[in-house]
């Protein structure tokens, strides 16, 4: 066995960065899944509007209220006085009227109770805060600092709390009345009927001084709101209406105050403040129109819930919608990329993301569905390559598929010129899955091509090597491509007629001219004896033909000629989902691969599907779909229905032998097995699940017949023999009757066992 199949050592580590930090950030920046919704981004107070509306739509007014209480000490005043920049950026506005967020806020405050719990236990602070002057800014700042457990003294000309609120806001009295209990509850020490100006002038013993705009003597810093003596005053420049501006300034002032208390420069390490931009993509295509609820007085609870339910809960889930893989791993591409990047960097320890990076079908759908073209497939492929190179990727993950590829290019390989031609203009390359699943169709196709395609058509049965690329085995891939190049050269470097879109895509990178079988059939027309469809069909596009409209259209032409009435779906063409064969998922994570096949059928599981990749045909059929490969219809042939792994190999060998015998008239010396094996369907299924081939079983029995090394159970007369092939120990339990073996079970392990 070559070096490619030598097991690695977990004690031997190499390191290679997957990509630079800059490239990582550049790739990650394309994913806007975590960008804030537009309403949240617009709010200078950083209200989580989306969460608030969701809570209301679920009838949880208490939660909605707590979100409002979190951003300001006076949510009642805010809900009436806010100029609501969130509303102007609400995406529903592009369809009809935006969600009436302030009206919902008003109703939330009206219909919910004042929270009884005081929240988290906070330690009382020692630093004293002095606040001077009567306006909403000073009142909000004072209340904010008091809620943070600072001892705050507030100097005001007002006579009592009601008067104070009236002086701070010109909102209707009944609104202010509702805000009154909150003010009374606060731990503010209010000095009524005082003269704030003289109090500020004489102030002593305070760590922080904050005053109303009328007491400001010099221009303050536009960000920190501090003057040269680090006294805090409202901003000079106003961006919003009076209420929002005052509450926003109070929030910023509180940040500055805490920085100063901690002896830090108030300009440094401030959280993002004010309105921010968002690149979040929101798909408005599937949003039903819902008329706004008119606000007559205050919304009733029901009206409020109805209006809040109009929120479309902006999120970019374009990639998730079509990809069961991303949904299964519950991570947006940005997070997934970061975790995969970290996974490749782990020197010692568990690589927790191996399963994730090996479960991507590498189909490229996300690049099409993502508004920014995020290429998750390339990241997963690169990560596999990186981990193979640094010997962190276990051979066990992809070995079966790689050996299958080698089987196609060795034992199952065939290259021959059309009889009677010294040089062929073309070579037909059906692809390993067509050879394995529909050998009769491949045979008929080749016969037809020899007959109808001028210039001679050679044949090559083999694998295009994409399996090595999917497995991240770069060197093996290059070796296999070199092998194919040599073989093509021996045939006189003909034009390749590929039977599989993935083979086409792969071979196009290495050979000057590759066309599809569909191109030839679309040009030549259908042969005699083709099937007639006369029904509605969905074409399941192959991921290998993504962004290859020429191929997609050629297949559609053929299907129409067959009489098919093509129904296009949301995931037709370039947006197609992978059947689960791509990226070797079906070998690594069967559950994920089955989910992918189901995903392909989600539009209509009862529909008739036509595929143009044999792997798609096989995988969709295994999910119970009525799926057929277009070439089966073209040649009126069938395919082996859901062949197991052993049958796929057998089919390839049989096809090769039949072709050699019937087309090239070669005598085939069939190797006679000197014994017979009886394998029940139950055991066959077990072997399929455990990826044990019939050939592994036969070799184990043959080895036993040679040296009789096995365990005999005298109780039931069964024998259990072991034989190591490559990196795997195969065990077969059987009953022996002369040269006949009844197989009872088969199992395997990769660990080696010996006596010590």
Partner 1 sequence: MANEKTYYTLEADSHLKCAHCGIPLVKGNAVFEYLDNAFPVELPVCPQCGFVYVPEELAMGRVLSVEKVLEDK
Coil, helix or strand for 180?
helix
573 Cβ contact list (under 8 Å, min separation 6): 541, 549, 552
Residue closer to partner 1 (CB basis): 80 or 730: 730
Here the tokens at position 674 are: 């000197």
Pick the closest to residue 644 from 581, 594, 687 (CA basis): 687
Q: How far apart are CA 748 and CA 662, in angstroms?
A: 38
Residue closer to partner 1 (CB basis): 567 or 724: 724
> How near is the Cβ of 355 to partner 1 at its closest, in Å?
8
Question: Which whole-number Å values give the CA distances from 249 to 135, 155, 222, 232, 453, in the listed order?
Answer: 12, 19, 10, 10, 79
Pick one of 113, 237, 291, 350: the residue that binds partner 1 (CB under 8 A).
Answer: 350
Residue closer to partner 1 (CB basis): 200 or 360: 360
> How near is the Cβ of 718 to partner 1 at its closest, in Å?
10
> How near is the Cβ of 679 to partner 1 at its closest, in Å?
16
Residue closer to partner 1 (CB basis): 665 or 754: 754
How do beta strands 129-132 and 608-611 pair? unpaired
Pick one of 496, 710, 734, 743: the residue that binds partner 1 (CB under 8 A).
Answer: 710
> How near is the Cβ of 50 to partner 1 at its closest, in Å?
37
Does residue 593 contact residue 622 with C-beta atoms inside 8 Å? Answer: no
31 binding partner 1? (CB under 8 A)? no
**DSSP letter, residue 673:** P
719 binding partner 1? (CB under 8 A)? yes
114 binding partner 1? (CB under 8 A)? no
Residue closer to partner 1 (CB basis): 298 or 711: 711
Does residue 336 contact residue 356 with C-beta atoms inside 8 Å? Answer: yes
351 binding partner 1? (CB under 8 A)? yes
239 binding partner 1? (CB under 8 A)? no
Stretch that binds partner 1, among 96-104, 242-250, 433-441, 701-709 (CB under 8 A): 701-709
423 binding partner 1? (CB under 8 A)? no
747 binding partner 1? (CB under 8 A)? yes
> How near is the Cβ of 729 to partner 1 at its closest, in Å?
8
How do beta strands 728-737 and 740-749 pair? antiparallel
**DSSP letter, residue 600:** H
Stretch that binds partner 1, among 90-98, 472-480, 570-578, 710-718 (CB under 8 A): 710-718
Q: How many residues bind partner 1 (CB under 8 A)?
A: 43
| b (16+ CB within 10 A) / e for 439-466 | bbbbbbbbbbbbeebeebbbbbbbbbbb
715 binding partner 1? (CB under 8 A)? yes
Residue closer to partner 1 (CB basis): 9 or 268: 9
Residue closer to partner 1 (CB basis): 4 or 8: 8
Residues of span 515-554 touching partner 1 by CB under 8 A: none
724 binding partner 1? (CB under 8 A)? no
Stretch that binds partner 1, among 29-37, 416-424, 441-449, 713-721 (CB under 8 A): 713-721
DSSP string, 185-247: HS--EEETT--HHHHHHH--S-SEEEE-GGG--SPPPTTT-B-TTS-B---SS--S-HHHHHH
711 binding partner 1? (CB under 8 A)? yes
Beta strand ranges found along 623-717 (DSSP E) = 626-629, 676-679, 710-713
753 binding partner 1? (CB under 8 A)? yes
Three-state SS across 428-446? EECCHHHHHHCHHHHHHHH
21 binding partner 1? (CB under 8 A)? no
Here the tokens at position 81 are: 């006085």
Q: How far apart are CA 562 and CA 675, in angstroms?
A: 47
Here the tokens at position 15 are: 């390191």
Q: List interacting residues with partner 1 (CB under 8 A).
A: 7-12, 349-352, 354-355, 394, 396-397, 690, 707-715, 719-722, 729, 731, 733, 745, 747-756
């Amino acid at each position: 066995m070559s070096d490619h199949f030598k097991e690695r050592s977990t004690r031997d580590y190499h390191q290679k960065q997957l990509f630079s930090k800059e490239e990582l950030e550049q790739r990650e920046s394309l994913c806007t899944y975590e960008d804030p919704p537009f309403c949240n981004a617009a709010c200078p107070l950083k209200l989580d509007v989306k969460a608030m509306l969701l809570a209301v739509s679920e009838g949880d007014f208490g939660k909605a209220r707590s979100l409002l209480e979190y951003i300001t000490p006076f949510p009642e005043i805010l809900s009436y006085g806010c100029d609501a920049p969130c509303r102007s950026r609400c995406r529903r506005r592009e369809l009809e009227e935006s969600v009436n967020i302030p009206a919902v806020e008003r109703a939330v405050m009206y219909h919910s109770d004042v929270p009884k719990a005081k929240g988290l236990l906070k330690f009382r602070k020692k630093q004293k805060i002095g606040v001077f002057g009567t306006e909403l800014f000073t009142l909000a700042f004072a209340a904010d600092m008091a809620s943070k457990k600072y001892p705050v003294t507030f100097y005001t000309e007002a006579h009592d709390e009601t008067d104070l609120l009236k002086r701070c806001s010109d909102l209707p009295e009944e609104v202010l009345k509702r805000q009154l209990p909150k003010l009374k509850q606060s731990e503010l020490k209010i000095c009524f009927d005082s003269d704030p100006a003289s109090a500020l002038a004489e102030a002593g013993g305070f760590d922080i001084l904050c005053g109303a705009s009328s007491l400001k003597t010099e221009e303050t810093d536009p960000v920190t709101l501090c003057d040269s003596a680090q006294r805090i005053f409202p901003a000079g420049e106003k961006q919003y209406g009076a209420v929002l501006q005052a509450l926003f300034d109070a929030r910023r002032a509180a940040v500055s105050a805490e920085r100063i208390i901690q002896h830090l420069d108030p300009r440094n390490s401030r959280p993002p403040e004010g309105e921010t931009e968002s690149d979040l993509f929101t798909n408005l295509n599937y949003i039903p129109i819902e008329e706004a609820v008119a606000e007559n007085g205050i919304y009733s609870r029901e009206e409020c819930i109805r209006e809040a339910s109009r929120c479309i809960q902006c999120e970019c889930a374009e990639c998730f919608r079509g990809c069961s893989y991303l949904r299964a791993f519950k991570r947006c591409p940005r997070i997934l990329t970061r975790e995969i990047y970290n996974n490749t960097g782990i020197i010692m320890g568990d690589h927790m993301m191996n399963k994730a990076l090996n479960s991507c079908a590498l189909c490229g759908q996300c690049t099409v569905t993502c508004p920014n073209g995020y290429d998750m497939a390339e990241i997963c492929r690169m990560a596999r390559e990186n981990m193979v190179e640094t010997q962190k990727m276990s051979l066990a993950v992809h070995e079966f598929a790689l050996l299958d590829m080698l089987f196609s290019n060795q034992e199952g390989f065939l290259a021959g010129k059309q009889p009677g031609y010294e040089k062929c203009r073309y070579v037909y390359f059906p692809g390993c899955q067509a050879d394995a699943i529909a050998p009769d169709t491949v045979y008929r196709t080749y016969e037809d091509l020899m007959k109808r395609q001028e210039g001679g058509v050679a044949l090559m049965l083999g694998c295009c090597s994409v399996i090595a690329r999917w497995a991240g085995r770069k060197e093996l891939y290059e070796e296999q491509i070199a092998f194919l190049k040599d073989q093509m050269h021996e045939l006189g470097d003909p034009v390749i007629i590929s039977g599989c879109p993935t083979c086409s895509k792969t071979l196009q990178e290495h050979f000057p001219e590759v066309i599809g079988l569909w191109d030839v059939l679309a040009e030549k027309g259908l042969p005699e004896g083709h099937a007639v469809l006369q029904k509605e069909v969905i074409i399941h596009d192959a991921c290998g033909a993504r962004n290859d409209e020429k191929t997609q259209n050629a297949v559609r032409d053929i299907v129409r000629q067959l009489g098919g009435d093509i129904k296009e779906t949301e995931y037709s063409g370039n947006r197609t989902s992978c059947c689960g064969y791509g990226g070797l998922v079906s070998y690594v994570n069967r559950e994920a691969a089955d989910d992918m096949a189901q995903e392909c059928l989600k539009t209509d599981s009862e529909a008739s599907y036509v595929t143009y990749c044999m792997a798609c045909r096989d995988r969709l059929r295994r999910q119970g779909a009525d799926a057929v490969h277009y070439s089966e219809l073209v040649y009126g042939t069938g395919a082996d229905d859901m062949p197991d792994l052993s049958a796929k190999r057998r089919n390839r060998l049989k096809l090769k032998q039949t072709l050699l015998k019937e087309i090239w008239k070669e005598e085939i010396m069939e190797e006679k097995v000197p014994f017979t094996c009886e394998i029940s369907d139950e055991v066959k299924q077990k072997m399929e699940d455990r990826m044990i081939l019939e050939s592994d079983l036969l070799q184990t029995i043959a080895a036993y017949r040679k040296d009789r090394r096995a365990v005999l159970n005298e109780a039931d007369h069964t024998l259990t023999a072991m034989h190591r092939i490559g990196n795997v120990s195969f065990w077969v339990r059987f009953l022996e009757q002369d040269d006949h073996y009844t197989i009872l079970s088969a199992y395997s392990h990769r660990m080696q066992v010996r006596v010590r």
